[in-house]
Amino acid sequence: MSTLVGKLQIDKTIDARGMACPGPLMNLIGAIRQGQVGQVFEVLSSDEGSKTDIPAWLAKARHDLVEVVQDNGYTHFVVRKAR
């Protein structure tokens, strides 16, 4: 199911708020593993470690970090599967 957040078409939302590190990143890796190239994933994480872990993994795995927005008590990451 796709939803629209701002101008972006989000294919899957991973609400990992309340999950301890590294839950949010592990869930994102699982989603990317099963997703299609070009799909956009949204990750919501309240874990401080995600701020460094998620961008570091995306850089290594060569997927796109489209947007990082700090919201009320959590961080919102938008990610595109690039390959």
Interface residues toward other proteins, by CB under 8 A: 16, 19-23, 25-27, 29-30, 32-33, 49, 53, 56-57, 60-62, 83
Could you tell me which of 23, 83, 82 has the C-alpha nearest to residue 54?
A: 23
User: In which residue are the tokens 């701020």 written?
Assistant: 51
Residue in 21, 29, 65, 66 annotated catalytic: 21
For the bound state, the minimum distance from the C-beta of residue 26 to other proteins, rounded and expressed in Å, comes to 5
| Token pair in block for residue 81 | 């599967």
Is 21 annotated as catalytic?
yes
H/E stretch holding 61:
helix 50-61
Q: Smallest distance, Å, CB 6 to other proteins? A: 27
Residues belonging to the active site: 21
